[in-house]
Amino acid sequence: MNRVSFGIRILLVAALLTAPVGGCGAVSTNPPDAIIPAALFGMHFHRLGDATPWPDVPIAQWRLWDAHVAWPNLEPAKGRWHFELLDHYVAIAAEHNVGLLLPLGLSPSWASARPLEKSTYQPGNAAEPRDIEDWRDYVRTVALRYKGRIQAYEIWNEPNLKQFWSGSVDQMIALTSEASRIIHSIDPEASLVSPSPTQDRGLPWITEFLSKGGGSLVDVIGYHLYVAPQAPEATLPLAASIKRLMYDAGIPDKPLWNTETGWFLPKPFPPELAAAYLIREYVVTWAAGIQRLYWYAWDNHGWVTLETTESDNRTLTSAGLAYSVAFRWLAGSRMLSCSGDSQQTWICELERDHHRQRILWNARGVVTFHLPLEWHAQSRELVSGEHERLPNGTLEIGPTPVLVLSANP
């Protein structure tokens, strides 16, 4: 996703004023029985190496969207290739030991079936290629050049939105099939990610794609789990819907990646709430069984309203600082459980080095939480990084998560 029209923004304002923070019933999840990997933490950069320095936060994965390396950027005219910027990005990723996800797509005007058709970007970009051989040549050229250096490829971006894809599902399956055959033959270690529709209105698109066998062509199912103007906990029912579709399609065990998400609400976004949302989104993402989340975007100041950096693209906002907190709390631990009660108090239990830790928050507001004696709760860590001892059996919690540390294994 790149931008929202003024009319949609007005609707979001109204929804923000009326939408509940969370559901009214209790919610229980079944987190993966695995150590949370650093690879959960992905990011988007638009101007890295130019206006944006490499951040001093733990980035494990990088999705190259809105980074000026789509097909029209790489091959603006048939057979005339420009790899300078993508080569630069690949070198930066290698320097920082970061995995790359490159979306394949957007038809250059010269290759487009409808070169004058409007799109989010340039005319013709949303249409399917006029000649499938041009698509094959594009995919083959990129895969050969970056074999072993780009770890994953994603087919197109948000194909349920006409401004990104104006072709049919069948045509997208044809492109996916060709890309799968070419990439897997050239670079068997590379992963192919399905086209990634967005928001709950993308469910009909992914339903048709999977029902027609598209899931068998890819290694990973991609989706953009944007839930704005709702709170992060709304990710859980959307993820559950996608998981059900994967089960129905006979691919329940394939990984599900959230290849783009963030918040685009009317400004100003309160700093405390921005930090709270970012941490909670990563927590519920893993609880939902999603293996990666690529945040959108580190240096976007025009469309997103939950910004991780100031306008200089280097000074961290509260949300940017919270990204590091989420990494520190989650990566390397095992999530044993994660659930919310009817009052929207959430408890996510972690195990790290045989010690129990719990992330707590209340999505509705500040409440008094009574610490169970069996927790042997000793201290809490705030998003600021400050540690405080817990002198009695109660704790005030609110929308910003806290980490409660136990005194014993």
Which CATH number belongs to the domain containing residue 213 in this structure?
3.20.20.80
**Number of residues in the chain:** 409
**Residue 144 scores a pLDDT above 90:** yes
Tell whether 323 and 342 lie within a shared domain: no
Tell whether 278 and 358 lie within a shared domain: no
In a domain, 172, yes or no: yes
- What is the domain count for the chain? 2
Q: What is the mean pLDDT of residues 381-406?
A: 93
Tell whether 360 and 293 lie within a shared domain: no
In a domain, 1, yes or no: no
Question: Alpha-carbon distance 25 to 72, whole Å?
Answer: 47
For residue 397, list its beta bridge partners.
367
Q: What is the DSSP string of 21-80?
A: SS-SS-EE----SSBPPGGGEEEE-SSBTTTBPPPSS---EEE-SSSS-SHHHH-SBTTB
Question: Alpha-carbon distance 94 to 210, whole Å?
Answer: 34
Tell whether 296 and 367 lie within a shared domain: no
Look up residue 405 and give its two tokens.
């540390």
Highest mean pLDDT among 47-51, 348-352, 384-388: 348-352
Tell whether 321 and 360 lie within a shared domain: no
In which residue are the tokens 């994953």 written?
A: 152
Radius of gyration of the chain (CA): 22
Tell whether 186 and 228 lie within a shared domain: yes
Under the banding of pLDDT at 50, 70 and 90, the label for residue 157 is very high
- Cis omega (within 30 of 0) on the bond before 297? yes
Range of the domain at 145: 6-27+36-332
**Residue 16 scores a pLDDT above 80:** no
What pLDDT is attached to residue 13?
Answer: 29
Tell whether 374 and 317 lie within a shared domain: no
Tell whether 137 and 73 lie within a shared domain: yes
Q: What is the mean pLDDT of residues 66-78?
A: 98
pTM of this prediction?
0.93
pLDDT in tens, 216-231: 999 999 999 999 999 9
What pLDDT is attached to residue 269?
Answer: 85
Residue 369 sits in a domain whose CATH number is 2.60.40
Question: Alpha-carbon distance 350 to 355, whole Å?
Answer: 8
Question: Alpha-carbon distance 405 to 42, whole Å?
Answer: 27
What pLDDT is attached to residue 408?
Answer: 64
| Amino acid present at 56 | D
Tell whether 251 and 361 lie within a shared domain: no
**Residue 97 scores a pLDDT above 80:** yes
Under the banding of pLDDT at 50, 70 and 90, the label for residue 409 is low
Final residue in a domain of this structure, among 332, 361, 376: 332
pLDDT in tens, 286-324: 999 999 999 999 999 988 999 999 999 999 999 999 999
Question: Alpha-carbon distance 350 to 333, whole Å?
Answer: 6
Tell whether 203 and 221 lie within a shared domain: yes
Relative orientation angle of helices 271-287 and 235-248, to the nearest 10 degrees: 30
Average pLDDT across the chain, whole number:
93
Question: Alpha-carbon distance 403 to 54, whole Å?
Answer: 28
What pLDDT is attached to residue 25?
Answer: 82
**Residue 160 scores a pLDDT above 50:** yes
HSE, side-chain direction, 13 A CA sphere, residue 345: 11
Tell whether 143 and 81 lie within a shared domain: yes
What pLDDT is attached to residue 11?
Answer: 31
CA distances from 225 to 13, 258, 364 (A): 20, 6, 22
